[in-house]
Amino acid sequence: MATYAIGDIQGCYEPLMRLLGRVAFDPEVDRLWIVGDLVNRGPSSLRVLRWMVEHERAVVAVLGNHDVHLLARHAGVAKASRDDTLDGILEAHDADVLVAWLARRPLAHREDDRLMVHAGLLPSWTPEAALALAREIEEELRGPDRAKFLADLYRDKGRRFDAGLGRRERRLAAAAVLTRLRAVDADGQMVARFKGPPEELGRGQVPWFRAPGRASGDVTLIFGHWATLGLWLEERVMALDTGCVWGGSLTAVRLEDRAVFSVPALR
């Protein structure tokens, strides 16, 4: 039995199949940890999502920002972005089933000393606090007011998080962090809309996992979202987005021994 953590797939079905073949993945005994962004921008989002549903007993996947975008598109509260490739899902005969499955995915998953999220945690968040916030957001996404929550989320994706915020505002700010964070400023708040490599960060800004005194330093954080960061492995950090959808590669790390496996994207 082995557990493979895999970076952002984003509809890259063919590289995913090659990667699983390379590690001889057996859904009867092995497990996959998917760091989110199963869908969008790649050519085969529908096939990726159907595969995940078919093999759900072997899959743990957290929600990424593109997965949340699909939920919002399906709910009718978000417009199509220029690079969206979600119409195949939205027009599929099983769209409601697929979206319902996606909406039940967590925003954070912890086993022992490993914690997986799509993007990251604010420096002030302990693992326990992050999981509690994730459960609150999941309650919104699985409830009858999902569309309203998503509409509110899309009105302001760069909210500043503060534990003293009202319940709904706190949940909206935390959802943005868990799905979009890359770097933080000197106040430990998310640097909104930054997408470049770490060396392009401004004065006082650092990658979120390098923030001094980070309260989640006692667990191994497994995440994706940051393609310009690439594969980044430290003792307590596993960044796995190697930009498959941008022509890079799709990467897996076997959690038991940190062996790295990678396949190139389709050009």
156 pLDDT more than 80: no
Query: What are the pLDDT digits (tens) for 208-265?
Result: 999 999 999 999 999 999 999 999 999 999 999 999 999 999 999 999 999 999 999 9
- Could you write out the DSSP letters of every residue in 171-226? HHHHHHHHHH--EE-TTS-B-TT--S-GGG--TT-EEGGG-TT-TTTTSEEEE---
Query: What are the pLDDT digits (tens) for 79-135?
Result: 999 999 999 999 999 999 999 999 999 999 999 999 999 999 999 999 999 999 999
Mean pLDDT of the chain: 96
pLDDT reported for residue 179: 97
Q: Are 27 and 55 in contact (CB under 8 A)?
A: yes
pLDDT reported for residue 267: 64
CB atoms within 10 A of CB 96: 10
Alpha carbons 246 and 243: distance in angstroms, whole number: 5
34 pLDDT more than 70: yes
Residue range 149-160: mean pLDDT, rounded? 84
Query: What are the pLDDT digits (tens) for 169-210?
Result: 999 999 999 999 999 999 999 998 899 999 999 999 999 999
Query: What are the pLDDT digits (tens) for 132-147?
Result: 999 999 999 999 999 9
pLDDT reported for residue 266: 77
Alpha carbons 205 and 147: distance in angstroms, whole number: 34
Q: Are 129 and 177 in contact (CB under 8 A)?
A: no
- Could you write out the DSSP letters of every residue in 6-40? E---TT-HHHHHHHHHHTT--TTT-EEEE-S--SS
3-state secondary structure of 167: helix
pLDDT reported for residue 97: 98
State the DSSP H helix or E strand holding residue 235, giving kind and residue range, or none if neither: none
157 pLDDT more than 70: no
Residue range 30-54: mean pLDDT, rounded? 98
Question: What domains are there in the chain, each with its CATH number?
Answer: 3-264 (3.60.21.10)
